[in-house]
Structure 1
Amino acid sequence: MLTLGEVLRRTTTYLGERGSSSPRLDADLLLAHALGMDRMQLYLEHDRPLTPAELEGARALVGRRGNGEPVAYILGTKAFRNLNLRVTPDVLVPRPDTEILVEWAIEAAPAGGSLLDWGTGSGAIALALADERPDLSVLAIDASASACAVAAGNGMALGIAISVRQSDGFDAVSEQFDVITANPPYLSDAELERAPRELSFEPRSALTAGPGGLEILTRIVAEAPAHLRPGGWLLCEVGEQQGEAVADLLRQSEYGDVALRNDLAGIARVVGGTRPSA
């Protein structure tokens, strides 16, 4: 019979050959889930033989990952900041780069202020902000009813108070806020076609903005001022080559204090500015 350690080794090799960028981590997470263990137990029981039923369960999960399905969808959860979020194929998998947006919003939001999270998906941004800045009043919006259900469910499960509202863009929003955060679709159609295979499992409407990639960001920049209080911040996550273009959009729309923040790779990942005075 194969031992747990041998299955881990074989799984890591297989997932690496199938194109995973983190095959050992994927193997750990999938096998721990299949066996009902935490990752530490995998190593404490390294020499334990696996039963045929355990092997069958593990193979099913590993096969899904080998076909490109994101680990978060297979497990049904994804860690983000201090939270463990439920995720489904109705929402994007939260990414570490989005933490830059969260950190900027934490700094920008005044004490006791209000915040709108545009296109909330799983609620990752809204819930992280409400968790780390409990003084804020947070409204999360999304055009997808399914995404709103996931975000609301995560809030209930985590005991974090946010409001969730279905809205196509700002259509169902009449209030003004101190901060608006947005991680909108920003891939062009061509970029999505060239993207890694696992993106094909995520909702296309949450990934691509259209032929150019800036269509939705342009709409947000144009419409956000009506929903910002004086001095309020618009903070947007952007694609790898879009930082300066979005900063120019903000300047052309007379936003103030326009700035960019880089990710760990030195790529402009978040662009922000304050509400135009006029």
Structure 2
Amino acid sequence: MSRTIGDFVKGATEALSQAGIDGAARDARLLTAAALRIPADRLTLELREPLDAGDEQRAAEYLDRRIAREPLSHILGQRAFFNHAFTVTADVLDPRPETEALVLAALNTRFSDVLDLGTGSGAIIISLLAARPAARGLATDLSEAALAVAGDNATRIGVADRLRLAQSDWFSSVVGRFDLIVSNPPYIALDEMPDLAPELAYEPRMALTDEGDGLSAYRRIAVGAADHLADNGRVMVEIGWQQGPDVAAIFKAAGLVEVAILPDLDGRDRVVTARKP
């Protein structure tokens, strides 16, 4: 009797579990569905079907890549974030659920012009523009490859006509003032890098760490915010869960007011927000 799709899913789950991967059963199902080129929610209906040799080879290749700790989003080519699926490559940070706290915080304020510093995949600003059809935005990144990914996502999700892209080292190429500035900057300190999950080795290093204390990006954002925010405009940044007091102090020292630290859905400090007086 030929091997069934269900047999492969079971074996893949065991292999992923033995490799120490959390959510092994979920990853096994998603990888198998991707290899079969079917929606993941249809996989249950196919479990008793025989597994085609070509599909099995492709599924095995996906499985080997995941066991090597390549991020699931890189293998699948996309990541679900907020209300959309975003193209993800090794050129951009993998959008994470905790970053949705930044999007939610931004949507609780009024804005018509938004600037996203270090946009990566564009997940933050594209989510904001999709939710606010009258808003326009500028997304910057130092990486041309990242900007290409963001541009592709903007086109697919239907906001490209309201989003400009610019290669920039933080504010270096930014002209104008904005109601809202958002950023998920590199905030992992250099001495924390060796302890990170193996999957992060597949992501761009400059999107993860500032090669210092993890706070240098916030210092640059705080200094530049005054010149690029409209009066009463707001700046909102994602932070590491232990960085709230330090980032809040940096923003206050730059003359920003109404500085607040907001939690993510797990209750950990995740966003610092402030207003230009």
Q: Which amino acid aligns with 2:152?
A: G
In the TM superposition, what is the alpha-carbon distance from 1:28 to its structure 2 partner? 1.3
Matched residues in 2 for 1:34 and 1:148: separation? 28
Residues 248-257 or 140-149, more deviating = 248-257
Residues 260-269 or 114-123, more deviating = 260-269
TM-score, normalising length: structure 1: 0.96
Partner of 2:64: 63
Note the 1:8-87 alignment, pairs <5 A.
Answer: 8-87=9-88
Quick check: 1:157 aligned with 2:179?
no
In the TM superposition, what is the alpha-carbon distance from 1:125 to its structure 2 partner? 0.5
Residues 10-19 or 146-155, more deviating = 10-19
Partner of 1:133: 132
Name structure 1 gaps, 5 residues minimum. Answer: none
Q: Which amino acid aligns with 1:132?
A: A
Partner of 2:141: 142
Q: Which amino acid aligns with 1:158?
A: I
Matched residues in 1 for 2:74 and 2:81: separation? 14
Instruction: Note the aligned Cα RMSD (angstroms).
Output: 1.1
Partner of 2:190: 189
Partner of 1:229: 230
Q: Please state whether the residue corresponding to 1:208 is helix, strand or coil.
A: coil
Q: Please state whether the residue corresponding to 2:224 is helix, strand or coil.
A: helix
1:109–1:115 contact (8 Å) kept in structure 2: no
Residues 255-264 or 172-181, more deviating = 255-264
Q: Please state whether the residue corresponding to 2:105 is helix, strand or coil.
A: helix
Identity over aligned residues, as a percent?
39
Matched residues in 2 for 1:39 and 1:150: separation? 24
Q: Which amino acid aligns with 2:172?
A: D
In the TM superposition, what is the alpha-carbon distance from 1:109 to its structure 2 partner? 2.5
Matched residues in 1 for 2:110 and 2:189: separation? 31
Matched residues in 2 for 1:254 and 1:270: separation? 18
In the TM superposition, what is the alpha-carbon distance from 1:203 to its structure 2 partner? 0.2
Partner of 2:116: 117
Matched residues in 2 for 1:45 and 1:74: separation? 21
Q: Deviations over 1:15-65 (max 9, x none)?
A: 122122221211111110100111222111111121222211110001000
Q: Which amino acid aligns with 1:121?
A: G
Matched residues in 2 for 1:207 and 1:152: separation? 21
2:101–2:265 contact (8 Å) kept in structure 1: no
Matched residues in 1 for 2:18 and 2:262: separation? 35
Q: Which amino acid aligns with 2:60?
A: R
2:125–2:139 contact (8 Å) kept in structure 1: yes
Matched residues in 2 for 1:43 and 1:145: separation? 40
2:119–2:150 contact (8 Å) kept in structure 1: yes
TM-score, normalising length: structure 2: 0.96
Matched residues in 2 for 1:193 and 1:169: separation? 26
Matched residues in 1 for 2:33 and 2:185: separation? 33
Residues 114-123 or 1-10, more deviating = 1-10
Matched residues in 2 for 1:263 and 1:100: separation? 5
Partner of 1:260: 261
Residues 154-163 or 168-177, more deviating = 154-163
Q: Please state whether the residue corresponding to 2:265 is helix, strand or coil.
A: coil
Q: Which amino acid aligns with 1:53?
A: G
Partner of 1:171: 172
Matched residues in 1 for 2:114 and 2:166: separation? 13
Partner of 2:89: 88
1:261–1:270 contact (8 Å) kept in structure 2: yes
Matched residues in 2 for 1:157 and 1:204: separation? 27
Structure 1 runs of 4+ with >6 Å offset: none
Matched residues in 2 for 1:36 and 1:9: separation? 19
In the TM superposition, what is the alpha-carbon distance from 1:260 to its structure 2 partner? 1.1
Matched residues in 2 for 1:133 and 1:40: separation? 30
Name structure 2 gaps, 5 residues minimum. Answer: none
Partner of 1:218: 219
